[in-house]
Structures are given as C-alpha cells and as structure tokens.
Structure 1
C-alpha cells in the first residue's frame, strides 16, 4: 500500500513567504553534490588556409594561402602613440543665475569667502570678476564658475566700461616673470611685479564700480565682509 504523501519541506507561511530560503533548500536537497556536466558544443575549427589555384604548367596547380595575413610591421617598443584629436573644446555656458553685475562668493583659493562682482565671460569660458580691489583687495582675475556661489544681489553695470585689452592673454605672465630655477643655494626667487597697465585698468574699473556701489545702501559693507558658515548652517539649505 502506498504511504501517505508527506508535506513539502518548504512550506509557505503567511504573506506568501517561504519558510526556507533558496540557499537553504539548495543545502537541504544536497544539490551541491550533483555534478553538472555541460555538453560540449561541436564547433569546428576555422580553417587557416585556403586553396588557391595556380595557372601554368609545372607550378603545382594549387597553393595554400593564409586567410588572415600577419602584419609586416612590428613595433620595437610597446609604447602607446598619442593619437591627435580633432575635437576642439568649446567654452562652457554660464549658469543662468550668473549675469553681469551678480555678486559671487569665492569658494577656494587665497581669497576664499570674499564677495566679488561678475563683469563678463571670457573666450576661455572663465569668469572675469573683481572685488573691487579698493573695497576687499580682490583684483581683476579669472575664476571658474564651479568655484563660486551666485547670490541674488546684483549691481547694474550696464554703464561700466571694461578696458578692451582685458582678455585671456591679458593674464598670462611673460617668460621673464616666471622663475626658471637655477642654483639651488642662490637667492633666485623674484617677487611678481604688477605692470603699470594692469594698475591703470584696475583703477579705472574700481572708480566706475565705486560710483555704482555708493548708490546702493550697505553694498560696500556687504562686499567688504567675508562669507563663512557657523555650526548648524548648511549651504544647500540656504538662499543666497
């Protein structure tokens, strides 16, 4: 006589959840002892040669020719050669929150925390900003937009006249101003000297900005103060 059917090992509990997990049932059924033999696929090997008929008498009539010829040139050294690229990087677009006259907060560098005024975007995509210098000591400089925070404070600089020569090449130093090294024990360090042209351009921009700053109450004090965070303050929760 046939015995009673036994209950399944893995019962379904309330909520449709099994009593044992998949790995537990794998161990209970001893499935790890069963060897799985995979059937090997009969993949015929690809031929390396092809038979080429040869015309003419006393030539053997056929030749075995390689299907894939080996290269004639082998490099003597395994050095990767740099391939010239045809891509020309374009300057990135300025964020919509950054418009001419917007007050920005510097996030890195020796002037970190200072508030500056955005003047325009240069051809390289960098931002031309200034403190002005007579207010907080920040001269005409180029800044990447990823290192600034745009505030809601803006100045109307539509009447501001920026010198024509202020461009990316305007900020590059000449070879004579760079320290080329030399004797390690000699005092060959030369301090950077600002040219008279840059001093005049800075003075002209500062005088124009000061007249605009005076028209806005408490703007000079706002630009001269540094931005800093206190305990419990988070930039992503603040409105600038």
Structure 2
C-alpha cells in the first residue's frame, strides 16, 4: 500500500471557467394582444375595467390606458397574464407613445427612502404625487385616444362599463 502524496502536482489544477452572461430572450406577447385591442383587467386596483392596449414595452409588460377621462384608468403597465383580450379594436395609429418606456414608470431614488422622522410622524396619510411630466403625457395620450374612441359608435359606453361575472356565467365558454 502506497501513501498518497502530500501535495498534488500543479498540472492537475483545472483553469477556472469563464462566466457567460445569459442573455434573456425578449418576452413574447400573445397573438390576440395588439396595439388597439380592448383588454379587460383581471387583477389589481382597476380589475374589471376595460382598457385600450397601446403597445408592448421592452420588459414584456403592456402599456394600457383607460382613457382616464372615460373610465379613470391612467397610463399603466400591465402583465399580459392578468388581462383578457377582446375582439374589439381601436385605431391607435394617431396616438404617439414612442416616448413612453419602462423608465417612465420608475420611481425616484430619494422618494423611496423614508426617514425616521416620517415613520414617527404618525398616521398622516401619504399622498401619491403625480409628476407634471406624467400628467402631460396622460393628457397627450388621452386626447388622441379619446378621438379614436369617439369615432366608433357606443365604444365610449363599452369602455366605461364594468366587467363582472355572475354565478351562472362560464368564462371559458364566452366569446370576448
């Protein structure tokens, strides 16, 4: 029986492998969801509301708007898993949303940090402050979108109506 050597030779040491960054594929949007499709929101604060899809963002989220004047839904990002696409379409070719990206919705760094003083101030309700830039973008998009909606008869009332299900309704059999 031979004793194992105290040190291993240097040639046996394997070089460290290079770390490869995995590049994510861009998310795919369902074929039924195109710009101008009327969607029904299924979750969140605006569940049951009908909105117009404006475009798919780089993150895979959908940019939607109510329009705000019609049903109170502002410009929002929505995951496509939480929407139902309807067969209703709106011509959104005149709506300019090129400047709106995922960074448009990011929060400022200093607003995210709450100091100790704010914590102990009590239960004073915090008001969400909407920036002037977001208000201007909302107004610009709403004006163009409202014109497109008003061109289709009864579409404004359709967007303003709430979507609900009753106990006997079978959503898997419904044609949207």
Assess same fold via TM > 0.5.
yes
**Runs of 5+ unmatched residues, structure 2:** 9-18
Q: State whether structure 2 residue 110 is matched by structure 1 residue 171.
A: no
Q: State whether structure 2 residue 136 is matched by structure 1 residue 200.
A: yes
CA distance in 1, matches of 2:96, 2:21: 37
- In structure 1, the residue matched to 2:116 is 182
Q: Give the drift of 1:163.
A: 4.9
- In structure 1, the residue matched to 2:66 is 131
**SS class of match (1:119):** strand
The 1:143/1:104 distance shift into structure 2, 3 A limit, reads same
- In structure 1, the residue matched to 2:169 is 233
Give the conservation status (yes or no) of the 8 Å contact 1:101–1:156: yes
C-alpha RMSD of the superposition: 2.0
Higher relative contact order (CA 8 A, sep 6+): 2
Looking at secondary structure, tell me which structure has more helix per residue: 2
CA distance in 2, matches of 1:196, 1:132: 18
- In structure 2, the residue matched to 1:110 is 45
**Structure 1 ranges of 4+ moved more than 4 A:** none
- In structure 1, the residue matched to 2:75 is 140
Which of residues 8, 31, 38 is equivalent to 1:96? 31
The aligned length equals: 162
Q: Give the drift of 1:186.
A: 1.3
**SS class of match (1:222):** helix
Tell me the alpha carbon deviations over residues 10-41 of structure 1, each in whole angstroms, 9 at most, x when there is no partner: xxxxxxxxxxxxxxxxxxxxxxxxxxxxxxxx
Tell me the alpha carbon deviations over residues 149-199 of structure 1, each in whole angstroms, 9 at most, x when there is no partner: 0000001112222252x1111101102323515244313753221111111
CA distance in 2, matches of 1:180, 1:189: 14
Q: State whether structure 2 residue 159 is matched by structure 1 residue 223.
A: yes
CA distance in 2, matches of 1:89, 1:139: 30
Q: State whether structure 2 residue 65 is matched by structure 1 residue 65.
A: no
- In structure 2, the residue matched to 1:80 is none
CA distance in 1, matches of 2:69, 2:155: 14
Q: Structure 1 length normalisation: TM-score?
A: 0.63
